[in-house]
Amino acid sequence: GAGVSQSPSNKVTEKGKDVELRCDPISGHTALYWYRQSLGQGLEFLIYFQGNSAPDKSGLPSDRFSAERTGGSVSTLTIQRTQQEDSAVYLCASSPRDRTDTQYFGPGTRLTVL
Amino acid sequence: KNEVEQSPQNLTAQEGEFITINCSYSVGISALHWLQQHPGGGIVSLFMLSSGKKKHGRLIATINIQEKHSSLHITASHPRDSAVYICAVRFSGGGADGLTFGKGTHLIIQP
């Protein structure tokens, strides 16, 4: 079956612009996670969704970052007024029920802020 | 601070060698994950464990909860095993719902 998909695969933007990154989890998976992977910081947790609710937003680095999930499926991560330090690969993962399950990762979106 | 430490950071070995990658963490956890990331590729979950030992093919993962330590072993290593192996944990006791990651072990298996 289809895995986790993310779009776009690459995004180049200018400093100060807003960007939206999309994640389509595996069908039926209720838990969804956003992570980012950067050269300096490695992999970092951003936000966790259970259904459409986000019980844990503790990893969002600033109020420029927000995420939503609709219909218990697609999720969008929005970064406003992008900065160069936002350049990273943004990864989405999903799991069947909740945080106790194995996570299935998407291919990521590589974001470059010029 | 909740931390995950991996060793070694880099490992180069010959085909056929037995490989061990170590992971230690600072406080109690609910689960530990071993992940694999090939160059330019996505992340694949190899194991999730909270106690004991799991085996899948040539890969074995063990965890010692008391020692706060886990190991990933690869038997009869092959060049296709070359990848970055990442240990990740979900801390218990009200920590984040997401995973906290080690910095990864870059493994190269030479033919």
Beta pairing class for A10-13 and A109-113: parallel
Q: What tens digit of pLDDT does each residue of A81-94 get?
A: 999 999 999 999 99
Which amino acid, one-letter code, is at B92?
S
CB-based contact B31 A48, cutoff 8 Å:
no
CB contact set of B37 (below 8 Å; sequence gap of 6+): B43, B44, B83, B84, B85, B86, B104
AA identity, residue B57:
G
Query: Chains A and B: how many Cβ contacts under 8 Å?
Result: 53
Nearest to B46 by CA among A89, A103, A96, A31: A103
Q: What is the pLDDT of residues A5-62, one digit of tens each?
A: 999 999 999 999 999 999 999 999 999 999 999 987 789 999 999 999 988 888 999 9
How close A33 comes to chain B (CA, Å)?
A: 7
Of A44, A48, A104, the CB nearest to B45: A104
| Contact of A78 with A67, CB cutoff 8 Å | yes
Chain A interface includes B88 (CB < 8 A) = yes
Whether B97 sits inside 8 A of A99 (CB atoms) is: yes
Cβ burial of B10 (10 Å; 0-12, 13-18, 19+) is exposed
For A59, the closest of B30, B45, B98 (CB atoms) is B98
A63 pLDDT band (50/70/90 cuts)? very high
